[in-house]
Amino acid sequence: MKRKELYWALLVFLAPAVLALVVMRILPAAQALIESLFKTNVFSGEKTFVGVDNYVSLFENPDFQNTIAVTILFAFLVNPIQVFSALLLALLFVRAFPFSRLLRSLIIFPIAVPPAVAAVMWSAVYRPDGLANGILKSLGLSTQGFILDEEQALMAIIVMLSWIGVGYWMLFLIAGLNDIPDEIYEAARIDGAGYIRQTVSVTMPLLGRPLSFVLVATTISNFLVFAPVLILTRGGPVGSTSLLMYDIFLRAYSFGDIGRANAGVFILILLMVTAVSLQFFLLRKGNQQ
Amino acid sequence: MKKLLKAPLQLAGLGLASALVLTGCAASTTAPSQSAEPSASEDITSQPIELAFMGPETPETFEPVIAGFTELYPNITINYEQIPFDQLATTIEQRIGSGDSAIDIYTVDQPWLAQYAAKGYLEDISYLAAEASSAMPSAMYDVNFYDEKMWALSVWNSTQMMFYNKDMLDAAGVQYPSSSPDARWTWEEIDAASKIIVDSGSAQYGYLLEQVVNYYQFQAIAESAGGGSGITGSDMLSLDLTNAGWTKALEWYQDSFANGLQPTGVGGFDTGPMFSDKKLAFFIGGPWDIGIFGGNDVNWGVAPHPYFEGGEVATPTGSWSWGLNPASKNKTAAAEFLKYATINPVGNLKTTEALTVIPANEEAAGKYLPGLESDPRSAGVSDIMLYEIQNTARTRPTTVGYVQFDSLLSVALEDIRNGAEITSRIDVLTAAIDDAWELFR
């Protein structure tokens, strides 16, 4: 095949993916950036160019400052918790033991529950007279506020999201674990390596790719968390669960403040790109070592 | 059961405004500037027409009125689309805002009307004003005006009253509250009675406001404490939430939860079932609850909405109007359906067949209210409702900034209910609303 023909073939095969990427990702992002530089009159729909005013007014707003802080704290908590739990579960469920298939199915099951439905279910768990406090009481422990308590609400949402997500991420890691050839473990065993040594020196390095994928994918999906906040806490108590995605929704669809909502979208994109670049950088550094 | 509960609550949330509006705005009855009536030559009786209608109620709610209308116009089909209440505002923003012509007629929560009208989400129907004014009480008529034009027609009206569990009061030796508006209980009396009932162990909690964190219900409390509606100014874009009245109302509200008289953590559709499950001695709810509680085995009675001792009597009001989408391609037929459901007493009455709610049409209300007492437990309710609608109803303020105010206030009320420090929380709220209102300045 001539070089020119090869290029044509490449173009044809890549076109659908590239087109989808441009239409569904790049154009909306560009549109958000452009719209974020305008202020739209609510009544006439007339747009005025205001430069970076929308960004300045957002960053000067104490509520928005809180939203950014909460979003970053949330990302630092939820992603390691989910990846680590998924990894532990994958290591457990890749081995066969009595009822392992049943238990594995039970852990995967919440994937089928849409986040909004899960939030409604969990609101019954977290109610003051709900399931969680019922269990605490029966164990003789003191009841908790959960989503009504400023200090527990974010963690309560993280627990709920992990209930939905961990089983899903576990699947990728189990697939990765199954891809590791048995001979390598066999060789390690002959060399006298125990389970822990095998996990650290064989499993972890060879699980690098699926693990990086899971880390990046959880990070992105967790930046986009929205329905549970809307249904369970509406950003409260006292702003403690005010995630950026919810703030954007509120500004765009409840308040009709399109300019600042789009500024929020662009800030969210920047946050995600920064977080993911940082992860790639650290993973690459780790691999080189 | 859930479905049943959902509709009235949605109603409650969105719709209550219309009744109060009646008394609140009676003085300002507006003569509209004439708007263009759709061309009379347009034929809506022969060719097939499909109308799309969108609202938060269950489809069963509107089956009777749709059936009544299509009997008159067999060539017209009406497709009703239910959008859950929580998503309705967003859906209107997205679909009507983007000029979607696939909706012809939709439900409008009355306090949101000003903003929708200002944004061009509603068709000017001032040409129907003369007919509407003779069919409805003035508050139900006035509530649909913004900028001297009429944008929608009221379908329902609302008020709130106090349900009480007779067995619980008997067990604790507490006298029943009077059903006479002149002898209505104060919040102080309810607190005292609730304490006795809870202490005696005959109820887990004293009372609960149905829409516990909603301005619809809290406004009457703030107004009774002398705090006003909370919104002032010639442009109705100034906040007044730190006056003595609001502070008193908020402190009372917070204390009622802190003292265990009202339960925390329960909201939305879960409040009414607390009364049916016999966990509450008193429940402040709406006319729709008469229908809902009709199915429970609680030995209940009804008394007028409470007020603060020494304060004014104020009660919630308002409900749903329906308006036309300016992008609709079937405006004449849609307007005909709208007229049937509101101005025509027969049609308006049909909107209340599947739901316990007060019809906005005067003639329809006259026929409807006495029927509410078919359950002996609701004795006296017709007189209470009539009295409140005419005398004590406080309309929610007409402001383009209502959406922002309502949604941010309800988050703050939830925080205050759970113990947030009132002064600082209200400061944060004021800053947040002012920031959101930047849009209008």
B438: nearest CA in chain A? A257
Closest CA to B35 of B319, B326, B399, B362: B326
| A59 and chain B in contact, CB less than 8 A | no
Distance CA B404, CA A250 (A): 9
| A253 and chain B in contact, CB less than 8 A | yes
Distance CA B380, CA B34 (A): 42
Closest CA to A259 of A25, A34, A27, A28: A34
Closest CA to A240 of A225, A229, A226, A224: A229
3-state secondary structure of B100: coil
- Is residue B392 assigned to a domain? no
Question: Quick one: DSSP state of residue A240?
Answer: T
Both B37 and B127 in one domain: the answer is: yes
Distance CA B103, CA B105 (A): 6
Among B435, B437, B438, B441, pick the best mutation site for testing chain A contact (most A Cβ within 10 A): B435
- Is residue B393 assigned to a domain? no
Closest CA to B252 of B202, B294, B339, B190: B190
A245-249 contacts: CB < 8 A, separation 24 or more? A247/A63, A247/A64, A247/A67
3-state secondary structure of B395: coil
| Cβ–Cβ below 8 Å for A250 and B264 | no
- Is residue B218 assigned to a domain? yes
Which of B347, B378, B409 is the last residue before a domain boundary?
Answer: B378
Distance CA B294, CA B279 (A): 17
**Joined tokens for residue B188:** 């102080």
Residue A193 contacts by C-beta under 8 Å, 6 or more apart in sequence?
A201, A202
User: With contact defined as beta carbons under 8 Å apart, do B140 and B360 qualify?
Assistant: yes
User: With contact defined as beta carbons under 8 Å apart, do B219 and B337 qualify?
Assistant: no
CATH code at position B431 = 3.40.190.10
CA angle A224, A229, A234 (to 5 degrees): 135
Question: What was the pLDDT predicted at A216?
Answer: 93
Both B208 and B339 in one domain: the answer is: no
pLDDT, tens only, A138-191: 999 998 989 988 999 999 999 999 998 899 999 999 999 988 888 888 898 888
The residue type at A243: L
Q: Residue A48: beta bridge partners?
A: A39
Among A38, A40, A41, A43, pick the best mutation site for testing chain B contact (most B Cβ within 10 A): A43
Residue A100 contacts by C-beta under 8 Å, 6 or more apart in sequence?
A93
Residue A216: half-sphere exposure toward Cβ, Cα within 13 Å:
16
Question: pLDDT band for position A13 (50/70/90)?
Answer: very high
- Is residue B389 assigned to a domain? no
Question: What was the pLDDT predicted at A289?
Answer: 60
Block residue for tokens 């069963």: B60
Q: Residue B165: beta bridge partners?
A: B300
Entry pTM: 0.81
Residue A206 contacts by C-beta under 8 Å, 6 or more apart in sequence?
A176, A179, A180, A184
Both B197 and B259 in one domain: the answer is: yes
B122-to-A116, A257, B86, B99, B133 alpha-carbon distances in Å: 31, 19, 20, 11, 19
| Cβ–Cβ below 8 Å for B440 and A42 | yes
Give the residue-averaged pLDDT of A77-89: 94
Both B304 and B413 in one domain: the answer is: yes
Residue numbers of the domain that contains B178: 161-317+398-440
3-state secondary structure of B45: coil
- Is residue B387 assigned to a domain? no
- Is residue B363 assigned to a domain? yes
**Joined tokens for residue B419:** 């113990």
Both B57 and B204 in one domain: the answer is: no
| B120 and chain A in contact, CB less than 8 A | yes
**Joined tokens for residue A190:** 């002959």
B405: nearest CA in chain A? A255
How many domains does one find in chain B?
2
Instruction: Report the first-to-last Cα separation within chain A, whole angstroms.
Output: 40
Residues of chain B predicted below pLDDT 50: 1-30
A129: nearest CA in chain B? B265
Which string of b and e fits A147-181 if b means at least 16 CB within 10 Å?
bbbbebbbbbbbbbbbbbbbbbbbbbbbebbeeee
Distance CA B398, CA A18 (A): 50
- Give the B window 233-292 contacts with A, CB below 8 Å: 263-266
Block residue for tokens 């349900």: B163
pLDDT, tens only, B334-366: 999 999 999 999 999 999 998 888 999 989 988
User: Which secondary structure element, helix H or strand E, spans residue B17, and what is its range?
Assistant: helix B17-24
Question: What was the pLDDT predicted at B38?
Answer: 62
Residue A140 contacts by C-beta under 8 Å, 6 or more apart in sequence?
none
Q: Where in B252-347 does DSSP place strands (E)?
A: 280-285, 300-304, 315-316, 320-324
B93: nearest CA in chain A? A253
User: Which secondary structure element, helix H or strand E, spans residue B145, and what is its range?
Assistant: strand B145-146
Question: What was the pLDDT predicted at B37?
Answer: 65
Question: What was the pLDDT predicted at B20?
Answer: 29
Alpha carbon A124 to chain centroid, angstroms: 24
B204: nearest CA in chain A? A129
Gap from A46 CA to chain B (nearest CA, Å) = 11
Closest CA to B3 of B109, B107, B82: B82
Closest CA to A69 of A241, A279, A238, A276: A241
Gap from A76 CA to chain B (nearest CA, Å) = 26
Both B269 and B189 in one domain: the answer is: yes
B134-to-B29, B107, B128, B339 alpha-carbon distances in Å: 12, 22, 11, 13
Both B322 and B308 in one domain: the answer is: no
Q: What size, in residues, is chain A?
A: 289
**A38-40 and A47-49 strand pairing:** antiparallel
Distance CA A166, CA A82 (A): 6
Instruction: Report the first-to-last Cα separation within chain B, whole angstroms.
Output: 45
| Cβ–Cβ below 8 Å for A257 and B439 | yes
| B434 and chain A in contact, CB less than 8 A | no
Distance CA B271, CA B212 (A): 8
Distance CA A113, CA A108 (A): 10
Nearest to A238 among B90, B415, B435 (CB): B415
Both B407 and B282 in one domain: the answer is: yes
Both B410 and B367 in one domain: the answer is: no
Question: What was the pLDDT predicted at A236?
Answer: 80
Q: Which CATH number fits domain A47-288: 3.40.1410.10, 1.10.3720.10, 2.40.30.10, 1.10.20.140?
A: 1.10.3720.10
| A97 and chain B in contact, CB less than 8 A | no
Both B240 and B328 in one domain: the answer is: no
Question: pLDDT band for position A128 (50/70/90)?
Answer: confident
Q: What DSSP string describes A66-134? A: HHHHHHHHHHHHHHHHHHHHHHHHHHHHTS--TTHHHHHHHHHGGGGS-HHHHHHHHHHHHSTTSHHHH
- Is residue B248 assigned to a domain? yes
Q: Where in B230-349 does DSSP place strands (E)?
A: 231-232, 238-239, 280-285, 300-304, 315-316, 320-324
Question: Quick one: DSSP state of residue A242?
Answer: -
Q: What size, in residues, is chain B?
A: 441
Both B423 and B434 in one domain: the answer is: yes
| B423 and chain A in contact, CB less than 8 A | no
Question: What was the pLDDT predicted at A97?
Answer: 84
Gap from A87 CA to chain B (nearest CA, Å) = 35
ipTM beyond 0.85? no
Question: Quick one: DSSP state of residue B307?
Answer: B
User: With contact defined as beta carbons under 8 Å apart, do A242 and A66 qualify?
Assistant: yes
Question: What was the pLDDT predicted at A112?
Answer: 87
Quick count: other Cβ atoms within 10 Å of Cβ B431? Answer: 15
Both B352 and B413 in one domain: the answer is: no
